Amino acid sequence: MRGKVGRPARLDRNMIARAAYEIGLDQVTMKAVADRLGVSVPGLYHHVEGRDDLMRLAAEYSASLIQIPIDHGQHWAPWLVEWANHNYDAFVGQPELLSQFLNGAIGIERVVIAVDTVVGLLVRHGFTPAEAMDAYMLVSQCALGAAVGRIREMEAARVGRPAIAEFHRELAQRPADELPNLRALVTGMPAAPATFTDQVCTVLVGIAVRRGGSPDDVLEHVPGVAVNAAT
């Protein structure tokens, strides 16, 4: 008797994680994953405890796909900029991944390779292991915070309430002499705000200066950075 078309010969948690990731973390349900794998929902329960477990698997799988930049012998700054951008893009591209990360769903085993790679690269550039770990944490936190801000902006724009429009609306309802600093900010806000790379380079400049270097130790190695934004 022939089995169901598309049914895997042997189901495992990695196959389930991949299926959930391919569906998209914001669309994951037990039924959706079961249908994609060609199994029944009760059959899926033999491998996962429920949707929360399924979400953890999908988040860990997604995190494992975040690229670690290749070390071509380049300066440490552009390597960290690339690493930060990979993390930022992953979180912005799948907001639910960020939620799972904040909930502690992504286990340490998924980040140890990245930590070891970052520390090893920075040590080769003269960092101590402690300095390297500090730099890794600062850059990762910058990516995390920027992703949170971008996701909020995207949601605000989706519902027709972008921050700049809300500022203007609030200022229009108040006397002209109220909130002078906010008025100056809104009036002088640049047409092209600092990019995420600019923001990361601000962090990297701080790291370089704290180690006894200068802003140029970073800026001359990262093309296209707005100097005013980074310093």
Instruction: Indicate the number of domains in the chain.
Output: 2
SS3 31: helix
49 class by beta-carbon count within 10 Å (0-12 exposed, 13-18 middle, 19+ buried): exposed
Domain identity same for 52 and 17: yes
Cα separation of 5 and 37, whole Å?
A: 10
Please report whether residue 175 resides in a domain: no
Q: Model confidence over 32-42: pLDDT tens digits?
A: 999 999 999 99
Q: Which domain holds residue 99?
A: 67-143+190-230
Tokens coding 109: 């085993």
Whether residue 36 lies inside any domain: the answer is yes
pLDDT at 88: 94
Both structure tokens of 220: 């001359």
Mean pLDDT, residues 3-8 taken together:
46
Residue 156 lies in a domain: no
Q: Is residue 176 part of a domain?
A: no
Q: How confident is the model at residue 230 (pLDDT cuts 50, 70, 90)?
A: low
Residue 54 clears pLDDT 70, i.e. is over it: yes
* Closest CA relative to residue 78, chosen from 115, 49, 86, 184: 86
Say whether pLDDT at 105 is over 80: no
Taken as a whole, the chain contains a residue count of 231
Please indicate, yes or no, if residue 154 is contained in any of the structural domains. no
* Co-location of 27 and 106 in the same domain: no
CATH number of the structural domain spanning residue 38: 1.10.10.60
DSSP tag of 26:
G
User: Are both 125 and 226 inside the same structural domain?
Assistant: yes
pLDDT at 229: 52
The answer to whether residues 104 and 124 belong to one domain is yes
Tell the residue number behind the tokens 């991944």, with chain if given.
97
Percent of the chain's residues with pLDDT above 70 = 91
pLDDT band of 25, cuts 50, 70, 90: confident
Give 184-225 pLDDT, tens digit per residue: 988 887 766 778 999 999 999 999 999 999 999 899 998 877
Q: Are residues 115 and 89 in the same domain?
A: yes
DSSP 41-97: HHHHTTT-SSHHHHHHHHHHHHHHTSPPPP--S--HHHHHHHHHHHHHHHHHH-HHH
Integer-rounded Cα Rg, in Å, for the chain is 22
Residue 221 structure tokens: 């190695």
- Tell me: the pLDDT tens digits for 116-158? 999 999 999 999 999 999 999 999 999 999 999 999 988 888 8
Does the residue 184 lie in any domain?
Answer: no
Q: Are residues 33 and 55 in the same domain?
A: yes
Q: Determine the pLDDT at residue 1.
A: 35
Cβ atoms of residues 162 and 149 within 8 Å: no
Residues 43 and 99 in one domain: no
Q: What are the C-alpha distances in Å from 199 to residues 22, 128, 148, 159, 170?
A: 31, 24, 14, 27, 28
